Chain A
């Protein structure tokens, strides 16, 4: 009897050793403010986790995905992260909001946990406490500077207004945008905050009086759609051209603004849903398989897939290279993701000179390429080749 029990025990132990578990934690706004971004983002993380386990992407490991809804509340995000650190010892934290990530930077540094946030606030990868934070794609600041470069190419000395979300997320690129505008010979005539208003007549009239020829948005799709509709109503759509960073655009904007979105310019690193790349094929497959409906049509679903794919790839490499996955090996695997070891999942564009996703200890932005897309006939279509903003590095890092 004793012998058989010992045998059973040993079998269970060997099974447990053969298939270990590694945890990934995501906390984001599945409900509450900005859940139109956070919902598809979290859905994509869940779907990719399922896919990773089905395909056994991490040899010898089962991926345990902990997805929590922080409702865009910083205290919730902090609580979930602390709880996960205590109970699940995650190898990576897929964060979300700018505010929560800025608040958690010192904790992330202290516990040496790699964090890959949905927020692309440049302050997250700037010192201090920036060692373990990595942005999947270019920062908001780089996106806005790239849009200013596009404006400068289109019209020298143009007058530009910035309309931003009233939060750390919205204000993130203002300083770099001012410096870039000065270098490009553009003038920033006004910076206004707008968190969503039923009527934007006053905002638009004021910007018109200040001579704004372009409005650059750093916001989410809802407020931008309202401004576009009001601009059309006031006949300002021909007079003032509007552009925006990553979270302003996508299918959500077209759905909300309708015809008023025509001509809107959008800086995005992601391929569109119609493009034929391995990543976008996977996007379509997972969204259909998991019945994601409207969530699966969002570029924020692509963004969630990318974040999860980077995490899973680093786990896989850590397991293969070091034989174990923990905070330290995950970090080493991630910062080794460059040169011939760069990661090319097919979710974001790459430039002629850089791979799709690469990280080093000092280069904490994954996908550095982006394109400007324009709404034509109810769809975003690229109007530039993928490029990186050289001016952004000059104004932000002084090099």
Chain B
């Protein structure tokens, strides 16, 4: 039984990383209906900025992390201003294609830096010994992932429900034309969404870097790994991203724990989440918490 709880807790920790990475993805979709294929690149850039500040400029790690979060937020803002601003009102597929191109450009630029083909680790800043309770162990980087996710979930919950800007973002997501007609600046909303997505992406990148080290491809892969999480939770739902992420993480760990021993070579953790995803989508095509869109003719 202790194995079950260990798998569950580890799954929640991994799922929190997926959820954290998924938040920015959902945020952009929620405000602009754009699927951002460059999200993995933002995750990697945030993680590497923090590393550069901490390891090269020798900034205290907390300051380096904070500066990296802000810098990646600024990058998200600039990307929106430079590349996407002109596409307001254009077909969504055009914007999606731009994000695919952007991913390729950012990838290439990162390979031109010293980070391109290397493996790196943050200077140790968390206790090395894990927490142990009733036979269950949790590492501090895992706790960091859970903490960050909970923090952002609360912040976004407040932001979208209470703040004028958050309500504007929801309005723009719902109907751009109607929002503009009541004075909401769609451009500002989009830019803000990209900036905040940059902030969450950097946070996710730093958590992944703390858990498993920094490698460009592994970090970018996290950006793609969140797809099942956001589709399961619902593409436009912040709580959905969290529930989807944690569900995928737990399913992966339980599958690896209980099914791999019967399957030569293992690998069920890569399949089972998708099986569950298919079943859920069969009954709820818009995901667990996604908005059910009804088109009246």
Contacts and interface: CB of A to CB of B under 8 A. Distances in A.
A31 interface: yes
Nearest to B255: A202
Contacts of A199: 10-11, 13-14, 142, 249, 253
A390 interface: no
Interface stretch (A34-42, A106-114, A134-142, A319-327): A34-42
A234 B132 CA distance: 9
A26 to B, nearest CB: 15
B205 to A, nearest CB: 13
A284 B60 CA distance: 32
Given A193-B267, A198-B208, A203-B256, A39 B114 contact: no
A85 interface: no
Interface string B1-19: 0010011001101100100
Nearest to A298: B118
Contact of A206 (B13, B142, B218, B260): B260
Contacts of B218: 196, 222
A201 B250 CA distance: 12
Contacts of A192: 260, 265-266
Nearest to B129: A233
A383 interface: no
Given A201-B10, A206-B260, A233-B137, A222 B215 contact: yes
A222 B256 CA distance: 19
Contacts of A31: 107-108, 111, 116-117
Contacts of B269: 197, 202
Given A30-B117, A36-B118, A205-B6, A234 B216 contact: no
B257 interface: yes
Contacts of A235: 137
A206 B253 CA distance: 12
Nearest to B138: A233
B253 A202 contact: yes
Interface in B257-289: 257, 260-261, 264-267, 269
Interface stretch (A53-61, A117-125, A252-260, A308-316): A252-260
Given A192-B260, A198-B212, A205-B3, A233 B139 contact: yes
Interface string B226-262: 0000000000000000000000010001101100110
A365 to B, nearest CB: 27
Contacts of A293: 114, 118
A222 B265 CA distance: 19
Interface residues of B, number: 44
Contacts of A255: 119-121, 213
Nearest to A163: B266
Contacts of B267: 166, 193
B75 interface: no
A343 B108 CA distance: 38
B117 A201 contact: no
Interface in B16-67: 17
A191 interface: yes
Question: Interface majority SS on B: helix, strand, loop or mixed?
Answer: helix
A205 B266 CA distance: 13
A28 to B, nearest CB: 11
Contact of A256 (B121, B124, B142, B256): B121
Nearest to A190: B261
Contacts of B253: 199, 201-202
A244 to B, nearest CB: 15
Contacts of A221: 119
A348 interface: no
B113 to A, nearest CB: 10
Contact of A295 (B118, B130, B217, B261): B118
A157 interface: no
Given A39-B116, A256-B213, A203 B266 contact: yes
B117 A39 contact: yes
Q: Which among B17, B212, B267 has the highest number of chain A CB atoms within 10 Å?
A: B212
A225 B213 contact: yes
Given A36-B119, A199-B14, A206 B137 contact: no
A277 B107 CA distance: 38
B128 interface: yes
A199 B17 CA distance: 11
A191 B264 contact: yes
The list of the 4 closest CB pairs from A to B, nearest first, reads A39-B117, A202-B256, A202-B257, A256-B213
Given A191-B264, A202-B256, A295-B118, 15 more contacts: A31-B107, A39-B116, A193-B266, A194-B266, A199-B10, A199-B142, A203-B256, A210-B261, A229-B212, A234-B137, A235-B137, A255-B213, A256-B212, A258-B124, A294-B120
